Amino acid sequence: MKFNFLNTILLVFIISFTVNAQKKKDEKPAEIKWYSIEDAINLNAQQFPKKKILIDVYTDWCGWCKKMDATTFSNPEIIKYINEYYYAVKLNAERKDSIMLDGKLYINPNPTVNRSTHQLAEVLLNSRMSYPSYVFMDEMNRPITIVPGYSEAVNFEPILHYFADNQYLKQAWETFQKQFVGKVEKK
């Protein structure tokens, strides 16, 4: 009797472990929900509460942009925080199509030329073309600031909080950064 009871417990444990392992294997990892700039602005007009907008201005040839996607933007804590507090936008700075925002048409003036910059990217980055760059906008779709360059998840996390939590209105970045305690683990 004792032998059968232990075997039954062991069998239940093995089956449970196998099922959970298979579920985790089959689960798709979380991803950032990326929007078009038009959709993000429209969502802020229609949804409540409104969210900040984070615009990742990148190019297809930019190695640091790809590294940001592969590392920082694939970190579970970063994904969770961005999806909860931002409408995240990916904007190819060299896109070929036009964009209509607030009644103004933005185009790529030379869409057949390699590395021709789209007008919206120029406006958002104040003509300081550096990739990757991140434009933070408030809930009224007004620019707050531009943060240029690649950033590891542990360094990007406080930046996300600084703007989403409106700390930029209350204290200097240096003060906030010194006291910030995040969830992203340092490597």
Distance CA 151, CA 136 (A): 15
Two tokens, residue 107: 């185009």
The whole-model pTM stands at 0.84
> Which CATH number is 42's domain given?
3.40.30.10
Q: In terms of C-beta density within 10 A (0-12 exposed, 13-18 middle, 19 or more buried), how is residue 23 classed?
A: exposed
- Estimate the share of the chain in helix, then strand, then coil, as percent rounded to the nearest 5: 45, 20, 35
- Parts of the chain with a pLDDT under 50: none
Q: What is the pLDDT of residue 62?
A: 98
Q: Is residue 107 within 8 Å of residue 119, measured between CB atoms?
A: yes
Report which DSSP code applies to 112: T
Q: What is the pLDDT of residue 186?
A: 83
Q: What is the pLDDT of residue 4?
A: 63
Residue with tokens 């579920």: 23
Report which DSSP code applies to 167: G
Give just the sign of the alpha carbon dihedral 114, 116, 118, 123: positive
Q: Beta strands of the chain (E only): which ranges?
A: 34-35, 52-58, 86-92, 99-101, 104-106, 133-137, 143-148
Asked whether residue 131 is assigned to any structural domain, the reply reads yes
Asked whether residue 13 is assigned to any structural domain, the reply reads no
Asked whether residue 59 is assigned to any structural domain, the reply reads yes
Number of domains in the chain: 1
Asked whether residue 14 is assigned to any structural domain, the reply reads no
Asked whether residue 186 is assigned to any structural domain, the reply reads no
Q: What is the pLDDT of residue 94?
A: 98
Asked whether residue 134 is assigned to any structural domain, the reply reads yes
Asked whether residue 165 is assigned to any structural domain, the reply reads yes
Q: What is the pLDDT of residue 19?
A: 53
> For residue 96, what are the domain limits?
32-179
Antiparallel, parallel or unpaired: β 34-35 and 86-92: parallel
